[in-house]
Chains A and B, each alone.
Chain A
Amino acid sequence: MITVTGARKSYGDFTALDDVSLEIPAGTLTALLGPSGSGKSTLLRAIAGLEGLDGGRVVIGGRDVTGVPPQKRGIGFVFQHYAAFKHMTVRDNVAFGLTIRKRPKAEIARKVDDLLEIVGLDGFQHRYPAQLSGGQRQRMALARALAVDPEVLLLDEPFGALDAKVRADLRQWLRRLHDEVHVTTVLVTHDQEEALDVADRIAVLNKGRIEQVGDPVALYDRPANDFVMSFLGSVARLGGQLVRPHDIALHRTRERALQLDARVGGSPGVIEAVVERVVRLGFEVRVDLRADTGERFAAQLTRAEADALALQAGDTVFAHTVQAVNPAEAEPALAI
């Protein structure tokens, strides 16, 4: 378990962390999600001891490590750009932490081989990092971090430098690895899809503060505010209110729309809009609309719904929400 209390950090005029408190339960995979400059990397580096705090405390596994250097924190850290030791073979890279700890040679060899098998780099022992692909290098870096049996594993945008396909594969793989190894893991990312995909819990950061902490479903369905809502998943602005595009229903007549809308409280009402474009995205259909107020928004329908309406550009439709998501009235955030 990691507990951060009242963490504060400034770089000159820029406030990276503004009184951040966060609890990360043991054994979970928690994502720190936020735009660049939100303080998520600073928070991770402060947990690692790579960054000193101006104020606040960091406790890992019940031990206050606030003033402890990174060497003695019992952490494993994975960098966005791998930080591979270029002059060492894959085996020596992974063995580094154990060599420093002067473990017996046989033990090191066994452990390194085991780890390389786990990360799928068996047979690459004698290669140099320059002879590996980006994804392989990052898996090597992960094996290296795991070799020292860290109490917590900290990943700083680990897949940020990889292309989309490799990134998607690696995060599935990370999730499976976490289910096997169970080490408390903190992952920094700016990619909401990545966070929703791998994490048990997500902490959303913005401008050095934590906006909301919770499991992915809670954050998506009951965002604490507009920022969290628009950062996790796509949104449309309908009658001045933020809604999910898939929560918008379209009808041919105002009467029908009014009839169905009346069942939901707190909605922005029925909006008359003109269809600008209909885009078929596989199973889903995105309808780009312009409201009579001039506001543009998009609705997301299933193919069956779209076919039933037989929408064409230029048609007039009546939109309403099927599920009111009003951040102000949502359940209080799980933030601590």
Chain B
Amino acid sequence: MTTTTPARLGLRTVALGYLVLLVAVPIALILWRSFEPGVGAFVESVRTPAALAALNLSLLIVAIVVPLNVVFGVGTALALVRGRFPGKGLLQAVVDLPFAVSPIVVGVALILLWGSGGWFGGVEGLGLQVIFGLPGMVIATLFVTLPFVVREVEPVLHEIGTEQEQAASTLGASSWQTFWRITLPAIRWGLTYGVVLTIARALGEFGAVIMVSSGFPGVSQTLTLLVHSRYIDDHNAYGAYAAATLLMGLAVATLLGMTLLDRKRSTR
């Protein structure tokens, strides 16, 4: 298909304009508002005890969620690619469920399950506060980030096949040695993408977390909840911009890390 030069230029302009309007402008606006009163004001706003506590909590949740997702995600991907068992199709669908279900529904479901009066509500009596506590926020985040590692690792496992692993076994490697020395290095890029997506999503999760968090500043607010409460409850618009910029900075740093890794990979 050949397109005339004006048509091609027109198409590019429209596509670019769409991107700028929908993505670049809002982000630029937040950055501008955050740094408008100067860098000092920004730093001060993100160094309040509540903001620091929110940052710590967000990072803590990421630190718990990522390893769990790596272990269970790789396990699930292996089962889905290599395993032959009844209900495999169902498992495939269940893995995709978090993509389809609205996070707020997840929050409600978790309250029903873990809240007082829920099936597992009894754990509160044992002194474990799930809903309105850290465990609830972790479980909610686990739920929404569950598909990322599985779906990134799965195609790589398909692609590498099992011959390398069979070769390792004929050379004397046990299943465990084969996994660490052959399988894991072979899927490491898929796994890295999965982890990056998990981090970005875990940092940004709002709907599910707000349902299961008590939302006390300095105690149970993640960065997204901090942005929300500063804007809605405190009418502190500037504080919300600053916190949003911090959140965005973390996400950009994650993406940047991935891009650097990607470059390293393609040059080898």
Q: Determine if B172 and A77 form an interchain contact, defined as CB atoms under 8 angstroms apart.
A: no
Rounded to whole angstroms, the CA-CA distance of A128 and B170 in the bound complex is 21
Interface status of A37 (Cβ within 8 A of chain B): no
Main SS class of interface, B:
helix
Instruction: Pick from A50, A101, A145, A148: contact of B166, CB below 8 A.
Output: A50
- Checking A50, A84, A86, A97 against B171 with a beta-carbon cut-off of 8 angstroms, the contacting residue is A97
Whether B186 and A79, one on each chain, are in contact in the complex, defined by CB atoms closer than 8 angstroms, is: no
Interface residues of B in 165-183 (CB under 8 A from A): 166-174, 177, 181-182
Provide the bound-state CA to CA distance between A71 and B169, in Å.
5
Which residues on B sit within 8 Å (CB–CB) of A236? Answer: none
Tell me the residues in window 48-89 of chain A with beta carbons closer than 8 Å to chain B beta carbons. Answer: 48, 50, 69-73, 75-77, 79, 81, 83-87
Complex interface: chain B residues within 8 A of A101 (CB): 172
Q: Is the CB of B186 within 8 A of A76?
A: no
A100 close to chain B: CB less than 8 A: yes
- Asked if residues A50 and B182 are in contact (CB atoms below 8 Å), the reply is no
Interface size on A, residues (CB 8 A): 27
Task: Select the residue from B166, B169, B171, B185 with max chain A CB neighbours within 10 A.
Answer: B171
| B234 at the binding interface (Cβ < 8 Å) | no
Tell me whether A83 and B185 are in contact in the complex, defined as CB-CB below 8 angstroms, given that A71-B172, A144-B171 are known contacts: no
B166, B171, B185: the one within 8 Å of A100 (CB): B171
Complex Cα–Cα for A83 and B171 (A): 12
B170 touches A75 (CB 8 A): yes
Give the complex CA separation of A76 and B185 in angstroms.
Answer: 23
Identity of the chain A residue whose Cβ is nearest the Cβ of B171 in the assembled complex:
A97
Q: Is B259 an interface residue (CB 8 A)?
A: no
Chain A min CB distance to B227 (Å): 41
CB-CB under 8 A for A69 and B169, given A83-B163, A83-B164? yes
Q: Which residues from A are CB-within-8-Å of B181?
A: 96
Chain A residues near B172 (CB, 8 Å)? 71-72, 97, 100-101, 148
- With both beta carbons as reference points, the residue of chain B lying nearest to A154 in the complex is identified as B170
A-chain residues with CB within 8 Å of residue B163 when the two chains form the complex: 79, 81, 83
Interface centre among A71, A144, A147 (most CB of B within 10 A): A71
CB atoms of B185 and A87 under 8 A apart: yes
Give the distance in Å from the alpha carbon of A70 to the alpha carbon of B178 in the complex: 13
Pick the contact of B182: A48, A77, A85, A148 (CB < 8 A). A85
The answer for the CA separation of A26 and B182 in the assembled complex, in Å, is 32
* B164 and A77 contact, CB distance less than 8 A: no
Q: B173 contacts A100, CB within 8 Å?
A: yes
Q: How far is the CA of A75 from the CA of B168 in the complex (A)?
A: 12
A76 touches B168 (CB 8 A): no
Given A86-B186, A87-B186, A100-B177, are A79 and B167 neighbors across the interface (CB < 8 Å)? yes
B174 contacts which chain A residues (CB < 8 A)? 71
Q: What chain B residues lie within 8 Å of A77 (beta carbons)?
A: 166-167, 170
Residue of B nearest to A92 (CB): B181
**In the complex, chain B residues whose CB is within 8 Å of the CB of A75:** 170
A117-145 Cβ-contact flags toward B at 8 Å (1 or 0)? 00000000000100000000000010011
Quick one: closest B residue to A96, CB to CB? Answer: B171
B residues 141-184 touching A (CB-CB < 8 Å): 163-164, 166-174, 177, 181-182
Chain B nearest CB, measured from A124 CB (Å): 17
**Interchain residue pairs with CB less than 8 A apart (10):** A70-B166, A71-B169, A81-B163, A83-B164, A86-B164, A87-B186, A87-B188, A96-B171, A97-B172, A147-B171
9 more contacts with CB within 8 A, not counting A85-B168, A101-B172, are A50-B169, A70-B166, A76-B170, A84-B164, A87-B188, A96-B168, A96-B173, A145-B171, A148-B171
